[in-house]
Amino acid sequence: YAMLLSLIFLIVLVAAIVGFVFRHEIKTNFESNLNLALEDYNVTADRHSEAVDTIQRTLHCCGVQNYSDWERTEYFSQRGIPRSCCKNQNDCSEEDLKDPNKAKLKVFVDGCFFLVTSTMESKMSVVAGISFGIACFQMIGIILSCCLSRYITNNQYEMV
């Protein structure tokens, strides 16, 4: 049992170290995937487009770096900036969303990349705390199972 807990403890430790070491690659990968999602954004509302809309509505952001990222997409040439960027859904017309100057007043101007990464980093302390707590319980389990094993081998089973 102690060996199993030790193995799980090592796996969690390695995963935490790998996540910490490669955090910059994770950010870069997320940014490139968000850029791809903007380029492939379409009217048919596939799951990538729905994810972009959800991020923009939830975090009150628009685009990757800012709202002008939408100007480089095919969707912008057809319909303008998506409605999920609007500050007030009732005050956003399609004509306003097609004109970047008018849209600046009606949509969220901050980009989603910075908001998503800062939200993830702020939640990492909670994740690290929970992981540390679990690791402490695992260490206690390892120590207690070793003590039990030593007690059993020192006091051999009695024959009845």
Contact 92, 107 (CB under 8 A): yes
pLDDT tens profile 136-150: 888 898 898 888 888
Question: Average pLDDT, stretch 53-76?
Answer: 89
| pLDDT score of 40 more than 70 | yes
Q: Which domains does the chain have, with CATH numbers?
A: 1-158 (1.10.1450.10)
Contact 81, 67 (CB under 8 A): yes
C-alpha dist (Å) from residue 133 to 4, 59, 104: 18, 30, 46
Burial of 98 (0-12, 13-18, 19+ CB in 10 A): middle
pLDDT tens profile 100-137: 888 888 899 898 999 888 888 888 778 778 888 888 88
